[in-house]
Amino acid sequence: MSAANFIQDQSEFELLRESTDLLVVDCTATWCGPCKVIAPFIDQLAEVYSDRAKVMKIDIDANKPLAKQFGLKSIPAVLFFKQGELVETMIGVKNYDDFKNTLEKYL
């Protein structure tokens, strides 16, 4: 099973955002219980859609400017970017189908 990889920093995030047609970013933190609940769903998305979308995670504690840039007040937050533009933000715990349906909407 190929888990979603972590984006290391702001510059890697910007590069991915500019070069990826459909980018899904799970904004997470090690101390966040609800983030751990959705982590398997994000990993499953990364595996199932690896040929059509890039599904990544980012540690919001290590990348605070990113949270500020997108106005994130709570996590988990899953950001969907289509051709570099933020098209949808999902906040809180959702089930796999919610994430899958949102991703498929932008394929």
User: In the sheet where 85-91 sits, what is the strand order?
Assistant: 5-7, 54-59, 22-28, 77-82, 85-91
Residues assigned a catalytic role: 32, 35
Predicted pLDDT at 86: 97
Q: Indicate whether 82 pLDDT > 80.
A: yes
Q: At the fourth CATH level, which superfamily is domain 5-105? A: Glutaredoxin (3.40.30.10)
Q: Is the dihedral of CA 42, 4, 59, 20 positive or negative?
A: negative
Sequence spans of domains, the chain: 5-105
Tell me the pLDDT tens digit for each residue of 30-71: 999 999 999 999 999 999 999 999 999 999 999 999 999 999
14 and 70 Cβ atoms separated by less than 8 Å: no
Give CA angle at 55 (80, 105), nearest 5°.
Answer: 45
Neighbours of 23 (CB within 10 A): 23
% residues pLDDT > 90 (the chain): 95
